[in-house]
Amino acid sequence: MEKIIRKPPRNRRKMQSVTMTDVAELANVSPSTVSLFLRKPEAVSASASQTISRAIDKLNYVPNLMAGGLAAASSRAVSIIVPSVRNAFFAETVSAMQTALKKQRLQLILGHTEYDEHEEEELVRMALSWAPAAIVLTGLSHSPATRRLLANVAIPVIEIWELGGPQIDSAIGFHHDQVGIAAAEHLIQQGRRNLVFLGARMHQDRRAKQRCDGFLEAARNGGATARVVEHPDAASAEIGAMLLSDALRLYPDADGISCSNDHIALGALFACDRLKVAVPERLAVVGFGDLSFSAACNPPLTTIRPSGDLIGREAARLIEDHLNGEKPERQLTIDTRFTLQHRRSS
């Protein structure tokens, strides 16, 4: 009952050597003013601004975003979860988003699922523990637990690179079945009637599957035959070459090939070269992605170009708008479309 004896203060590890208080002292203002200056410079008088600014420079002050985020109940982080950054498509989107978000002083927290829904769920949980300003997921397919986690968050949830299914909140992307349809229609228009789709990892890559399905249906609707040759591993030129050989062996009358992406298409072109199959005379080849090499191939590859960077920019814009309080309707859907690049391979 008489523990009035003040124990010596514990020594807690300090995180920072120089805090906002230090800046305030040097600038002869209150910490509040420094905080205000940092958040809304226009609300602070010119003279105060100058002294504070000088003090910050002199002390080399770096604000602690965790303290700030904790106090403000939201952070300057945006979480983005993609299947893999090794994939050029997602790398492009991540890169574009990063560039756009940089202007808002928002940081990207990256996670990759490797096409595993359970992994995604864990990543979403980790992401939420940062109280991010927004969370970006790839695709519309998520585990029930993931949906539950995201059902009632107050921040924008943006699903990218896929449209055409039930969305959690906003979605930015395009319809992959339409990509398949566009490829099929193009080949038919080029006079091809025996079409084959070369696919990789379609049991995991839902979007590749959608492109394939759209292709098959459109081909058949257009009066062409349509077959699929696939491989369980991830897309690569090597697998593309294998698939093309298989396709020509199984369907010697094939005259039009659509590939689940440009890596496959590149391998197919190499295989055609080796097998002395004339492209496009004997076989037309269409890819997807318009990757860096696609225009430089022999022959240059006809391909469908998605707008990976536009997806990233639009996502960033949505987040920015939300941050500025312009709360747009939820369940927003933005179709970024795609374009067919007609080159010599078809």
Out of a second copy, DNA, none, which partner does residue 149 contact, by CB within 5 to 8 A per kind?
A: a second copy
Q: Does 95 bind a second copy (CB under 8 A)?
A: yes
Q: How far is CA 197 from the centre of its chain?
A: 25
Closer by beta carbon to a second copy, 187 or else 265: 265
3-state helix, strand, coil in the chain (%, to 5): 45, 15, 40
Q: Does the footprint of DNA cover residue 105 (CB under 7 A)?
A: no
Contacts of 48 (CB under 8 A, 6+ apart): 27, 29, 33, 37
Span interacting with DNA, options 27-35, 204-212, 238-246, 290-298, rule CB under 7 A: 27-35
Q: If binding is defined by CB under 7 A, does position 19 make contact with DNA?
A: yes
Instruction: Note whether 305 binds a second copy by CB under 8 A.
Output: no
Using CB under 7 A as the binding criterion, the count of chain residues that bind DNA stands at 36
- 99-107 long-range contacts, CB within 8 A, separation 24+: 99/312, 100/312, 100/313, 100/316, 100/317, 100/320, 101/316, 101/319, 101/320, 104/316, 104/319, 104/320, 104/323, 105/76, 106/76, 106/77, 106/78, 106/133, 106/319, 107/76, 107/77, 107/78
289 contacts 305 by C-beta, under 8 angstroms: yes
The item of a second copy, DNA, none sharing an interface with residue 9, based on CB under 5 to 8 Å by kind, is DNA
Nearer to DNA, 4 or 296 (CB): 4
- Choosing among DNA, a second copy, none, which partner's interface includes residue 92 (Cβ < 5 to 8 Å by kind)? a second copy
How far apart CA 200 and CA 185 sit, in angstroms, is 22
- When the beta carbons of 21 and 331 are compared against DNA, the nearer one is 21
Segment 168-227, which members bind a second copy (CB under 8 A)?
none
Minimum distance from residue 112 beta carbon to a second copy (Å) = 6
Residue 103 sits in the site that holds a second copy (CB under 8 A): no
Cβ-contact 80, 318 below 8 angstroms: no
The β-bridge relationship of strands 157-160 and 107-112 is: unpaired
- Given the DSSP bridges, would you call strands 157-160 and 77-82 parallel, antiparallel or unpaired? unpaired
Task: Please tell me whether residue 240 binds a second copy under the rule CB under 8 A.
Answer: yes
The binding site for DNA (CB under 7 A) comprises 3, 7, 9-16, 19-21, 28-33, 35-36, 38-39, 43-45, 47-48, 63-64, 67-68, 70-73
The binding site for a second copy (CB under 8 A) comprises 12-16, 60, 62-67, 69-70, 73-75, 77, 84-86, 88, 91-92, 94-95, 98-99, 105, 107-112, 114, 125-131, 148-149, 236-238, 240-241, 263, 266-267, 270, 273-274, 292-293, 295-298
